Amino acid sequence: MPGNDEAVPRQAVPRQAVTPHVVTPQVETGQTEARSGEGSTVVLSRGVVILFAVACAASVANVYFSQPLLVTMGRDLAMSPALVGSVVTFTHIGYGLGLFFLVPLGDVADRRRLIVAQLLLLVAALTVVAIAPTAAVLLVGVAATGLLAVVTQTLVAFAASLAPAAGRGRVVGLVTSGVVIGILLARTASGLLADLAGWRSVYVASASLTAVLALILYRVLPRHGAAAPTALRYGQLLRSTISLFAREPQLRVRALFGLLVFAAFSTLWSSVALPLSEAPYFLSHTAIGALGLVGVAGALAATVAGRLNDRGHSRRTTGIALALLAASWLPLAFTRSSLWALAAGVILLDLAVQAVHVTNQTLIYTLHPAAGSRLIGGYMIFYSIGSATGAIAATTLYTAAGWGAVCALGATFSCLGLVLWALTRKSATSDR
């Protein structure tokens, strides 16, 4: 690493500095020098890590704000039910495209400038949604919002690159907690704001917060020079994301873990409002949205997973978390008769999902730190596939067979994760 070579005696260079970087050129291509040393040259204070987490929460929440607002949006803009449903679809399509086309740029561009630029563009997209006079403008705005909300993953990759190797799991755990909290609280916040000042106020508030965060991050994030020259053009950069999956077995396994745990996560959160809005509860949208506050407790508790990863217990952490995920569906099955059982299940499920997610991101980043953005972006595509699969399957099953079938589906996704863990754990080279 250039940042360290100057301080290392000449005879130590071949063993200490050069050997670790003998990696496939298509993956690294000179970026190792620009990125891999960042964790050792920059001291991340707890305040900066929390700032990363807050920025992640605020960014990813934009993907989920619309879900409680669909009826109001449709009424305001005279949209048909089918067209109203496409608001969520367009948002997630934009997010999926951003994961593949925008997140990899973090490996060849100055991440600080890239983050600030994406946040400012996100402010513009949110403003378009807030002032949308027609359904067509609204759909363009939410698609752009989803596309630019992937700045969340650039933030995660940047935080991981700045963290020292010995504390990377802890940092990724804290930052990723912000992502999960943003997802869980987005519906609650948007419902409350919409009740107070209308659905457009949600996007005005988010645009204002995003603009403030862009200014703060511009001033606080470490300042780096331009990225080191790279042989990868944009098309090659995108193709290398695919080639990473072809070459890295651990990336493929961890991506499958991500798909399964987020399918289970989405199975619960996309359908739990249905039984709660019916007998015997008849809860309001605001009360249902408050359930996200319960989930936050589990997400925060799972930050311990990052510390366990730093101690070399990644494989064991994954197994325990997947077992807890499978077990969470037992109390969740009693949702219709006990809100306490629902709360216990939610805490267990969110804790388990977060623990696996933190472990996944910590491990895949270490495969090729110079390709961190591509690794995390590619992994998150599987997260999106899992989330979409769980949502579609859960809502369809609930209509056809009720809440018990939904719980059976979630338990199936969870148990498949356990089976995958059991099949792959013997091939691990360490306690991964």
pTM for this entry: 0.77
pLDDT at 340: 94
Residue 29 Ramachandran class (φ > 0 left, ψ -120 to 50 alpha, else beta): left
Q: Which residues of the chain have pLDDT under 70?
A: 1-43, 81-82, 85, 224-231, 285, 301-302, 426-432
pLDDT digits (tens, 9 = 90+) for 358-373: 899 889 988 888 888 8
pLDDT at 107: 87
pLDDT at 227: 42
Residue holding tokens 């359904």? 135
pLDDT at 2: 40
pLDDT at 25: 36
Burial (CB < 10 A; 0-12, 13-18, 19+), residue 133, is exposed
pLDDT at 224: 61
